[in-house]
Amino acid sequence: MLIFVRLRLMPTLRKIVVQDFRNIELQELDFSAKLNCITGGNGEGKTNLLDAIWYLSMTKSAFTADRFNIRYGAKSFALSGTYDLPSGGSTRIAVQFSGEKRIRRDDKPYSRISEHIGLLPIVMVSPSDVSMVSESGDERRRFANAVISQMDREYLDALQQYGRCLAQRNSLLKEERPDEALLDVLDAQMEPLAARISASREEFAKGIAPRVREFYSRISGGREEVEVSYRSALQKSSFRELMEANRQRDLTLGYTVAGVQRDDLHFGMNGHSIRNCGSQGQQKSFLVALKFAQYGIMKERSGVAPILLLDDLFDKLDMGRVQNLLETVTGEDFGQIFLSDSNKLRVNSIVDTLTEDRSYFEAVGGAFRSL
């Protein structure tokens, strides 16, 4: 039986109130500090509830823009969560969106939304993670940014400043006669920011790679070798050299063609891209290993066990990999866990072997009842 270690440093979501978020009209739920299981058919609201929990930590949806999260027929949505904090005591986070986003902690608004990031560390494993394998580098950069930002406030500040400068640079490049002296000024402002971002991403990739290999080996039974590496043009030249080499292309195309906004993480298996050679089960196993590695590195660096969201965790995994995954989970000290699955019998039979301290919820049409 899985023994949950109640870490001294661990935020837990005690209560959530969700109003007009996706298909959830109004719901108030109390959670276990350990394991919470949400079952129900496809489209009933399981993922929406997990996304609401994610939103309270990250101040945005894991899947879509704010305006698409408003329930059909409503004009706004609201979320609130009451948390027990690692430092002791509790705090209440409230979010409202009606065209403008408002976030409050204990009824006091943040001066900047970014101040909230990292207070409630969180990791999600979701079927949508497959986009990190199947699509462009945007999704992999978004993953790296989300992880590093929760651990490093200075990285988040550098990322936001770089984004603002990049937007100004691209706007300038679209002018009929761009002021190249102003481009030089922007390049000088962006150079230290790009160096900070690139160095942090490279450090992150080097730190997470051995953890991914270890977790993947335990899940797959050691049948394949996987790798994670960071790729950036700044590994071969400085930012200034990169901008100078691409200035004419930028002027011709009307946008910035190079920079850390083009960086990527490479995911490999047995010496090849996992996108090209991995089966669905292998890709799912890799992505679970990646997220578990993320969990481990965040816990180690911050000393705080993140909240863990596991959405349809067992989809596309054979029973052998499911068994290995469960054995992996039992060997780790996790904090609060939220697990969703469409098969109630499957999840009940699995969870009942893990712990007696759990809560069950069933989703039907955006409404949730405790079982």
Listing DSSP states for 22-64 in one string gives: TTEEEEEEE--SSEEEEE--TTSSHHHHHHHHHHHHHSS-SSS
pLDDT for 354: 66
More confident residue, 202 or 314: 202
What integer pLDDT is reported at residue 324 of this predicted model? Answer: 67
Backbone torsions φ then ψ of 345, nearest 5 degrees: -65, -40
- Give the architecture-level CATH label for domain 1-121+305-371: 3-Layer(aba) Sandwich (3.40)
Contact yes or no for 150/298 (Cβ under 8 A):
yes
Determine what percent of the chain is predicted with pLDDT higher than 90.
61
Hey, which residues does 359 pair with through a beta bridge?
Answer: 36
pLDDT of amino acid 227: 93
> Which one-letter DSSP state was computed for residue 19?
E
Do 120 and 93 contact (CB within 8 A), yes or no?
yes
Flag the least confident range among 4-8, 182-186, 205-209, 250-254.
4-8
For residue 209, is pLDDT > 80?
yes
Residue 125: both structure tokens together: 């494993």
Sequence letter at residue 265: L
For the segment 312-360, what is each residue's pLDDT rounded down to a tens digit? 877 766 666 666 666 665 455 678 889 898 877 777 777 777 667 788 9
Give the pLDDT score at 301: 84
**What's the mean pLDDT in 212-222?**
85
Please determine, for residue 15, whether its predicted confidence score (pLDDT) is greater than 80.
Answer: yes
Domain 137-303 class? Answer: mainly alpha
Lookup: tokens for 189: 């402002």
Average pLDDT value over all residues in the chain: 88
Q: Please say if the pLDDT value at position 23 is more than 60.
A: yes
Element spanning 287, H or E: helix 280-302
Q: Which helix (H) or strand (E) holds 278?
A: none
Mean pLDDT to the nearest integer, 277-302: 87
pLDDT value for 2: 37
pLDDT tens-digit readout, 175-190: 999 999 999 999 999 9
Which has the higher per-residue pLDDT, 2 or 284?
Answer: 284
User: Residues of 97-112 as b/e, b for ≥16 C-beta within 10 angstroms?
Assistant: beeeeebeeeeeeeee
CB-based contacts of 57, cutoff 8 Å, min separation 6: 119, 120, 121, 122, 307
Q: Tell me the pLDDT tens digit for each residue of 81-103.
A: 999 988 888 999 999 999 899 99
DSSP string, 331-348: TS----EEEEES-HHHHH
What burial class does residue 65 get, using C-beta atoms within 10 Å of its C-beta: 0-12 exposed, 13-18 middle, 19+ buried? exposed
CA distance 197 to 214: 26
Residue 134: per-residue pLDDT: 81
Q: Looking at residue 284, what is its pLDDT?
A: 85
Question: Does 135 score more than 70 pLDDT?
Answer: yes
Q: Is 261 a residue whose pLDDT tops 60?
A: yes
Provide the token pair at 246.
């691409």
SS3 state at 259 = coil
Residue linked to tokens 């002296």: 181
Q: Could you give the CA distance from residue 68 to residue 48 in angstroms, rounded to a whole number?
A: 12
Is the pLDDT at 291 greater than 50? The verdict is: yes
Higher pLDDT, 57 or 304: 57
Is 134:275 a contact under the CB 8 Å cutoff? yes
The pLDDT score that the predictor gives to residue 183 is: 95
Mean pLDDT in residue range 271-293: 87
- Segments making up each domain of the chain, as ranges: 1-121+305-371, 137-303
Q: Tell me the pLDDT band of 1, cut-offs 50, 70 and 90.
A: very low
Nearest to 265 by CA among 223, 294, 243, 299: 294
Question: For residues 64 and 131, is the Cβ–Cβ distance under 8 A?
Answer: no
Alpha-carbon dihedral of residues 132, 134, 138, 143, nearest 10 degrees? 0
Nearest Cα neighbor of 50 from 104, 110, 127 is 127
